[in-house]
Amino acid sequence: MKIVRSLAGAAMSVLLMLTGCTPESKPSDPASEPERSEQTKPIVMDAADANLTLYERNVMPDTDYQSLTIVMDSVLADAGEESVPVRVMVFRNPGYVNYGIRLLYTEALQPLCKENTDEPYIEAGNACEDMMMAARVDASKQMIGFVAAGAEENAADGILYTLYFDIPSDAKSGTVYPLSLDVQDFKNSDGEQLMPTVVQGGIQIR
């Protein structure tokens, strides 16, 4: 029980750090927030400029990664489609016990959250099995923070988690909504900070 509580406390601390919030913090005033740099601000791209490698939904992609790699899903969706699933995947996983990941999304997308909360609806995958997970949406920054922690290493390749987005009804065919990952923490049981390669993704409108 002490281990579980310790993991939960550590996960929540990291989550608060990722989203820049505290339990007592009030919603931030966008006017007082510093502008995101152009390098981190998600933008809407034309498909011709996006160079996305699109994956089939619910099918694990064939990969030839040679080292630890975290991959943001890239999928096709229809204008106005609701609850489009997107996965965060890991390959060549040497084993981890905790991670902290931020996902930046474009303002046009709407993450699916539990009713009346800032907690996104997520499903843990096989690569996050038996881990304690927590997540929070900061809509003012178009950012979702995810953390996970476990008592033992998970060395599985596959899906860390799946989350869902609603697509705007006026989305034009060929538009790409980028989804960008920022891995803040990915450690093994020795406390060593692992350094994954990150493959960014997005949602492309049919």
The pTM assigned to this predicted structure is: 0.79
pLDDT at 18 over 90: no
pLDDT of amino acid 24: 37
Q: Which of 7-11, 14-18, 163-167 is predicted with the least confidence, judged by mean pLDDT?
A: 7-11
pLDDT tens across 78-114, in order? Answer: 999 999 999 999 999 999 999 999 999 999 999 999 9
pLDDT tens across 128-164, in order? Answer: 999 999 999 999 999 999 999 999 999 999 999 999 9
User: Phi and psi dihedrals of 6, rounded to 5?
Assistant: -60, -45
pLDDT at 37 over 90: no
Separation CA 148–CA 159 (nearest Å): 13
Sign of CA dihedral 150, 151, 153, 156: negative
- Parallel/antiparallel/unpaired status of strands 158-166 and 69-72: unpaired
pLDDT of amino acid 17: 53
- Average pLDDT rounded to a whole number, residues 20-48: 43
Residue 72: name the closest of 186, 160, 174 by CA.
160
pLDDT of amino acid 32: 39
- Average pLDDT rounded to a whole number, residues 180-205: 95
Separation CA 121–CA 111 (nearest Å): 8
User: Phi and psi dihedrals of 9, rounded to 5?
Assistant: -65, -40
Residue 184's pLDDT band, with cuts at 50, 70 and 90, is very high
pLDDT of amino acid 58: 78
pLDDT at 22 over 80: no
